[in-house]
């Protein structure tokens, strides 16, 4: 036997990432770095008004500006009839307006494109954009969801006859997966030994705010049109560009080069992407668009934005008996690629880890004249988790119970898995007791409760709150049949290929499309173990529809749980083929060949061949079995049989200065069960980043519109992402009950931190304030809101302090909320 | 057009630029230094941070004409003879980046921070990189990387590592 690679055990190793080498040296290739010779640049002329009739477009001055190649409206480009796709008709009678590439006739949100400039340089394009004169006849903006649904409301799209997009209902009584919630509520209302708790929660509007602004370059030179795009979904974008513009799919290559974050915000088919394709075809030159940050905040899709009316019923001993969820979800002016389905994804998660016998979910999607909403990290599940974890705390208060004890009384016990929930999902594995016990120990739950008592007793100006969130989520989107039953416009499988090169190197091709997740490293680790080759010898290729022709991309914590399993399946096929060749070369029966650590050996002998030798033999093809082709290369498409269900216990210690309202996150502990861990370093990073985004929803971020429908957080001065100085270090741990639904036992981690942390923080804020009479604080729980809630609770006037509605987290807002017109005083 | 003569990553350039050209656009579009990135329009995100005569600046808030006669160092100029700067190494080892978009600016700012304060505590690191936004990492591993690099860069810790101040000077 010749020298072979040492057997590797990569699974579970904290490997620093291989993709870092290019990113830490500036050898990156984000879309904006791609400028083929002769590239023309576009700038979009955007509506400053939320709702208006376009009465005239005067392009003449712009057309004469230096470097300008052309100025176009939708009509000039023949694109008036083109509508951008929505792939998720949630109900058969869903109302769907055409989402134009450029507005024609009426603009429906501030920031919507009306015309496009093509020029020699980005600066010349922007200069000329200022010279386009557009006349508008203003219409009333539609801003409030409840008002939008009232009789006589101004209609965003009059031709639809309503501002209601769709109403989607799940009722466990009707579905046969549980009993009737109406009955549960009536019973509870009639029974002195039961309680009914009703609360309204607000999920504010958020902006994904990936660090790389969106960008697209279309190069029409050559036989195939190449579209480079800062996208999470190159495969979906390719298919959808064909559907939208009619470019044959076989003539279109989409490349997602390095992509600087997405968080759901880069799932989409953008008007600007369609414009660069149409203009490149028209002009025969590469055409490029790179947005400014302000354009991104204004026009890239937003997330969340729900009003949640939650009713929970329980016996006085704490046993929950029913959960009724009524949502209003703001779609904005149009439907995004999966926008109407985002709140529906939450439908299966409001019941969370608890054994509700009766459950109903009713969601009405509403059109307003705001930027459209679509996926943002967690997509439907953070909203659900927030509501259920908040209402469990409210129930605990109502019953005078410790909130953790009440949760434990109602959650699925570890010995009850697999457990079919009131929604009909089967949770395959989990151990809520284990994660919770570890988290409480790390956190010193008992000690902090004692300190809290002491501070309350002493009327300490700084009060302590303890926030709990025991969450679960559904990951690994998704079993295709389930998506079919939800009328989703695609499957949920993922594709992989493995190519064994003549020199022993391995190319792994995945349909998942990384934008920061570390696929190149994690997938290399998996393949190194599966094939017994060195980690360094594995090259992961992705994000280019010509290299990776088949895939459904990256979102919904699916890359490892679906894409990773596809790779395992492809590796299995490589090994099966290699085994045949090994048996042939070693003159042994295939049944006597064993494979371990990259070596095929004949059982009971020292005869063997390494997988690299077999790969070379297959390449040479001088001597191989007659009943096979001379190749080890293999493809696989994996369609998951179930979702996976990571869970965890998150605990936050919140200090609130009751004199100023300042909220300080003193300590954050979480223990997540994400199944088996491929790379603990990457997992830790995903959890940290997820926590930061979830905490930011609780404390810092909100997209606000003024009464004219103008977004007032159009810069990073006003849309306040947390900086390093705003966050503490987190104590994050993992435990594992492996998933039983896939061969790696993995569950997914991309969204966990975001989903879990928001309610932990808000529960902590309220826990610090409730004894002072505060019942609720809307997110983000800024100093101002907390201070105001405290003043209100104590009957003090706050009228002399005007409400800063524009910029809740920012002290440096570019608009003075009390003097929005900037008048000299 | 205005003339600018500037040393960037050790190479001397003389160019005519539009007076309004920002340094970041000059670096990216004229010199091909696309490792320096643009993340916002308001000098909030810090993705474009470079060193100007040894001090970190956001290159979106400097005009190209202002760097006439100066030395600029970008993320592409801090590795020496194929050897990464200790801060680059630490970012890799500590998993201080995910999508990588804030990383060039974050590394340049961290080097500047360590030049001013070679042994920062956690809070000092957090405040020192406050002007650089990251959406992926939650900052924890960035803080860890900066502190880890500080250890490596202590006098005598690693014989072949130059002091951060001289590295930050660039082009020498």
Residue B147 is part of a domain; what is its CATH number? 1.10.150.120
**Which residues of chain A lie closer than 8 angstroms to B95, CB-CB?**
16-17, 681-682, 684-685
Alpha-carbon distance values, A799 to A773, A779, A802, A803 (Å): 19, 21, 6, 8
pLDDT tens, B123-153?
A: 999 999 999 999 999 999 999 999 999 999 9
Q: Are residues B51 and B97 in the same domain?
A: no
Residues with Cβ < 8 Å from B102, sequence gap 6 or more?
A211, B39, B45, B46, B47, B132, B133, B134, B135, B136
- Exposed e or buried b per residue across B35-68, where buried means at least 16 C-beta atoms within 10 angstroms of its C-beta: bbbbbbbbbbbbbbbbbbbbebbbbbebbbbebe
The residue in chain B having the minimum alpha-carbon distance to the alpha carbon of residue A259 is: B99
Let me know if residue B167 belongs to a domain.
Answer: no
* CATH class of the domain comprising A428-490+641-825: alpha beta
**Which residues of chain B lie closer than 8 angstroms to A715, CB-CB?**
40-42, 44
DSSP-assigned states of every residue in A372-429: -B---TTTTHHHHHHHHHHHHHHHHHHHT--HHHHHHHHBPPGGG-SEE-TTS-EE--
Using CB atoms, pick whichever of B41, B42, B99 lies closest to residue A211: B99
**Among B171, B172, B168, CA closest to B51:** B168
- Of B23, B50, B77, which residue sits at a domain end? B77
- Of B20, B44, B77, which residue sits at a domain end? B77
**Which residues of chain A lie closer than 8 angstroms to B111, CB-CB?**
none
- To test the contact with chain B by mutation, choose from A26, A127, A288 the residue with the greatest count of B C-beta atoms within 10 A, namely A26
A16–B131 CB contact, under 8 Å:
no
Chain A / chain B CB contacts < 8 angstroms: 175
Between strands A663-673 and A731-735, the pairing is parallel
pLDDT tens, B46-86?
A: 999 999 999 999 999 999 999 999 999 999 999 998 899 99
pLDDT on residue A730 = 98
pLDDT on residue B156 = 76
Contact between residue A639 and residue A491 where contact means Cβ atoms under 8 Å apart: yes
**Which residues of chain A lie closer than 8 angstroms to B18, CB-CB?**
123
The residue in chain A having the minimum alpha-carbon distance to the alpha carbon of residue B94 is: A16
Q: Are residues B92 and B72 in the same domain?
A: no
**Which residues of chain A lie closer than 8 angstroms to B97, CB-CB?**
20, 23-24
**Among A668, A677, A694, A681, CA closest to A751:** A694
Enter the tokens of residue A43.
């700038």
A691–B143 CB contact, under 8 Å:
no
Q: Are residues B91 and B146 in the same domain?
A: yes
The answer to whether domain A31-139+214-290 and domain A428-490+641-825 are alike in fold is: no
pLDDT on residue A813 = 37
* CATH class of the domain comprising A31-139+214-290: alpha beta
Domain ranges across chain A: 31-139+214-290, 428-490+641-825, 493-638
pLDDT on residue A823 = 52
Distance (Å, whole) CA A452 – CA A462:
10
Q: What is the mean pLDDT of each run of 10 residues along chain A (825 residues)?
A: 56 97 97 98 98 98 98 98 96 97 98 98 97 98 98 98 98 98 98 98 98 98 96 98 97 98 97 98 98 98 98 98 98 98 96 98 98 97 98 98 98 98 97 98 98 98 98 94 93 97 97 96 98 98 97 94 97 98 97 97 96 98 96 98 97 97 97 98 98 98 96 95 97 97 96 97 98 97 95 84 53 44 48
- Of B56, B77, B98, which residue sits at a domain end? B77
What DSSP designation does A446 have? H
Beta bridge partners of A766: none
- To test the contact with chain A by mutation, choose from B9, B136, B144 the residue with the greatest count of A C-beta atoms within 10 A, namely B136
Q: At what angle do helices A565-585 and A519-531 cross, to 10 degrees?
A: 30
**Torsion-angle region of A505 (φ positive above 0: left; ψ -120 to 50: alpha; else: beta):** beta
Q: Are residues B7 and B64 in the same domain?
A: yes
Which phi and psi (to 5°) does residue A721 adopt? Answer: -65, 145
The residue in chain B having the minimum alpha-carbon distance to the alpha carbon of residue A262 is: B99
The residue in chain B having the minimum alpha-carbon distance to the alpha carbon of residue A261 is: B99
Total number of domains in chain B: 2
Q: Are residues B123 and B91 in the same domain?
A: yes
Q: Are residues B8 and B52 in the same domain?
A: yes
Residue B39 is part of a domain; what is its CATH number? 3.10.20.30
pLDDT on residue A804 = 58
Between strands A599-602 and A608-610, the pairing is antiparallel
pLDDT on residue B168 = 40
Distance (Å, whole) CA A541 – CA A238:
18
Using CB atoms, pick whichever of B41, B93, B135 lies closest to residue A292: B41
The residue in chain A having the minimum alpha-carbon distance to the alpha carbon of residue B124 is: A725
Enter the tokens of residue A754.
């975001």
DSSP-assigned states of every residue in chain B: -EEEEEEETTEEEEEEE-TT-BHHHIIIIIS--TTS----SSS-S-TTEEEETTEEEETTSSBGGGGTT-EEE-GGGSSBTTB--HHHHHHHHTT--SS-SSHHHHHHHHHHHHHH-SS--HHHHHHHTTTS--SSSTTHHHHHHHHHHHHHHSTTTSTTPPPHHHHHH---
pTM of the model: 0.95
Q: Are residues B26 and B72 in the same domain?
A: yes
Q: Are residues B69 and B116 in the same domain?
A: no
A716–B95 CB contact, under 8 Å:
no
Residue B98 belongs to domain spanning: 86-158
B136–A689 CB contact, under 8 Å:
yes
A293–B39 CB contact, under 8 Å:
yes
- DSSP-derived 3-state class of residue A560: helix
- DSSP-derived 3-state class of residue A458: coil
**Which residues of chain A lie closer than 8 angstroms to B126, CB-CB?**
723-725, 727
The minimum CA-CA distance between B24 and chain A, rounded to whole Å, is: 13
Using CB atoms, pick whichever of B84, B91, B95 lies closest to residue A682: B95
Residues with Cβ < 8 Å from B104, sequence gap 6 or more?
A26, A28, B35, B36, B37, B47, B49, B74, B75
**CATH number belonging to the domain at A493-638, selected among 3.90.550.10, 3.30.365.10, 3.30.750.200, 1.20.58.220:** 3.30.365.10
Using CB atoms, pick whichever of B47, B95, B100 lies closest to residue A685: B95
Number of Cβ atoms within 10 Å of the Cβ of A89: 17
């Amino acid at each position: 036997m010749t020298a072979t690679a040492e057997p590797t055990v990569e699974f579970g190793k904290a490997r620093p990432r291989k993709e870092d080498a290019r990113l830490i040296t500036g050898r990156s290739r984000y879309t904006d770095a791609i400028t083929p010779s002769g590239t023309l640049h576009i700038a979009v002329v955007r509506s400053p008004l939320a709702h208006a009739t376009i009465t005239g477009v005067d392009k003449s001055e712009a057309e004469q500006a230096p470097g300008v190649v052309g100025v176009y409206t939708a009509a000039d480009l023949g694109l008036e009839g083109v509508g951008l796709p929505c792939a998720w008709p949630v109900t058969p009678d869903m109302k769907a307006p055409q989402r134009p590439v450029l507005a024609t006739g009426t603009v429906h949100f501030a920031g919507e494109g009306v015309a496009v400039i093509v020029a020699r340089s980005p600066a010349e394009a922007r200069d000329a954009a200022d010279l386009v004169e557009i006349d508008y006849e203003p219409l009333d903006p539609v801003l409030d969801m409840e008002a939008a649904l009232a009789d006589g409301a101004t209609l965003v799209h009059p031709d639809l006859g309503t501002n209601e997009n769709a109403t989607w209902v799940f009722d466990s009584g009707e579905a046969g997966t549980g009993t009737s919630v109406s009955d549960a509520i009536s019973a509870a209302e009639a029974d002195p030994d039961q309680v009914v708790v009703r609360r309204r929660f607000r999920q504010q509007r958020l902006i994904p705010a990936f660090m790389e602004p969106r960008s697209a370059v279309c190069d029409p030179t050559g036989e195939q049109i190449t579209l480079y795009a800062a996208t999470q979904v190159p495969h979906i974008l390719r298919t959808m560009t064909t559907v939208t513009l009619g470019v044959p799919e076989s003539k279109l290559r989409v490349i997602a080069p390095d992509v600087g974050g997405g968080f759901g915000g880069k799932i989409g088919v953008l008007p600007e992407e369609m414009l660069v394709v149409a203009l490149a075809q028209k002009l025969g030159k590469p055409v490029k668009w790179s947005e400014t940050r302000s354009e991104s905040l204004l026009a890239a899709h937003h997330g969340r934005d729900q009003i949640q009316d939650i009713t929970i019923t329980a016996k006085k001993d704490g046993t929950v008996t029913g959960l009724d969820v009524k949502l209003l979800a703001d779609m904005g002016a149009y439907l995004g690629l999966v926008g109407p389905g985002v709140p529906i994804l939450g439908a299966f998660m409001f019941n969370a880890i608890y054994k509700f016998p009766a459950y109903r979910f009713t969601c009405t999607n509403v059109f307003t004249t705001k930027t459209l909403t679509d996926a943002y990290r967690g997509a439907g599940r953070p909203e659900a988790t927030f509501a259920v974890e908040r209402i469990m705390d409210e129930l605990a208060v109502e019953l005078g119970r410790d909130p953790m004890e009440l949760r434990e009384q109602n959650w699925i016990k570890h010995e009850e898995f697999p457990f079919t929930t009131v929604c009909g999902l089967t949770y395959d594995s989990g151990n809520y007791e284990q994660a919770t016990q570890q988290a409480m120990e790390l956190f010193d739950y008992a000690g902090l409760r004692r300190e809290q008592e002491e501070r309350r007793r002493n009327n300490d100006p700084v009060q302590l709150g303890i926030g709990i969130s025991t969450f679960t989520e559904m990951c690994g989107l998704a079993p295709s049949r389930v998506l079919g039953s939800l009328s989703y416009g695609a499957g949920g499988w993922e594709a992989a290929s493995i190519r064994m090169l003549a020199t022993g190197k391995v190319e792994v091709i995945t349909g998942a499309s990384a934008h920061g997740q570390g696929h190149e490293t994690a997938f290399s680790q998996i393949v190194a173990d599966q094939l017994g080759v060195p980690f360094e010898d594995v090259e992961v290729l992705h994000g280019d529809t010509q290299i990776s022709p088949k895939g459904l991309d990256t979102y919904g914590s699916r890359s490892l749980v679906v894409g990773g399993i596809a790779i395992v399946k492809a590796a299995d096929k490589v090994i099966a083929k290699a085994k045949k060749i090994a048996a042939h070369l070693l003159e042994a029966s295939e049944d006597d060949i064993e494979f371990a650590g990259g070596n095929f050996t004949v059982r009971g002998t020292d005869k063997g061949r390494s997988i690299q030798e077999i790969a070379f033999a297959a390449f040479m093809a001088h001597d191989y079995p007659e009943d096979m082709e001379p190749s080890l290369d293999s493809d696989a498409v994996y369609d998951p049989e179930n979702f996976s269900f990571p869970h965890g216990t998150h605990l936050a210690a919140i200090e609130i200065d009751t004199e100023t309202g300042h909220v300080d996150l003193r300590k954050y502990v979480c223990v997540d069960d994400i199944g088996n861990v491929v790379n603990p370093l990457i997992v830790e990073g995903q959890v940290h980043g997820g926590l930061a985004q979830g905490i930011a929803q609780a404390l810092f971020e909100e997209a606000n519109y003024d009464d004219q429908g103008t977004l007032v957080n159009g810069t990073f001065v006003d849309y306040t992402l947390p900086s390093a100085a705003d966050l503490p270090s987190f104590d994050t741990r993992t435990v594992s009950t492996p998933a039983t639904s896939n061969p790696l036992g993995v569950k997914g981690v991309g969204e966990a931190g975001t989903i879990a942390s928001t309610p932990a923080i808000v529960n902590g804020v309220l826990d610090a304030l409730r004894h002072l009479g505060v019942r609720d604080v809307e997110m983000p729980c800024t100093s101002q809101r907390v201070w105001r809630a405290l003043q209100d609770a104590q009957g003090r006037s706050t009228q002399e302090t005007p409400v800063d509605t524009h910029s809740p987290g920012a002290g440096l807002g570019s608009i003075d909320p009390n003097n929005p017109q900037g008048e000299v005083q | 057009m205005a003339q600018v003569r500037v040393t960037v990553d050790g190479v001397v350039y003389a160019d005519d630029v539009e007076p309004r050209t920002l340094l970041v656009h000059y670096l990216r579009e004229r010199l091909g230094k696309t490792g320096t990135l643009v993340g916002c329009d308001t000098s909030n995100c810090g993705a474009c941070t470079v060193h100007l005569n040894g001090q970190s600046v956001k290159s979106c808030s400097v005009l190209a004409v202002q760097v006439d006669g100066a030395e600029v160092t970008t993320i592409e100029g801090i590795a020496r003879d194929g050897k990464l700067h200790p801060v680059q190494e630490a970012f890799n080892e500590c998993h201080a980046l995910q999508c990588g978009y804030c990383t060039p600016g974050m590394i340049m700012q961290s080097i500047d921070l360590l030049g001013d304060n070679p042994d920062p505590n956690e809070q000092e690191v957090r405040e020192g990189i406050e002007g650089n936004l990251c959406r992926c990492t939650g900052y924890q591993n960035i803080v860890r990387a900066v502190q880890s690099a500080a250890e490596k860069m202590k006098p005598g810790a690693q014989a072949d590592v130059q002091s951060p101040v001289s590295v930050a000077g660039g082009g020498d």
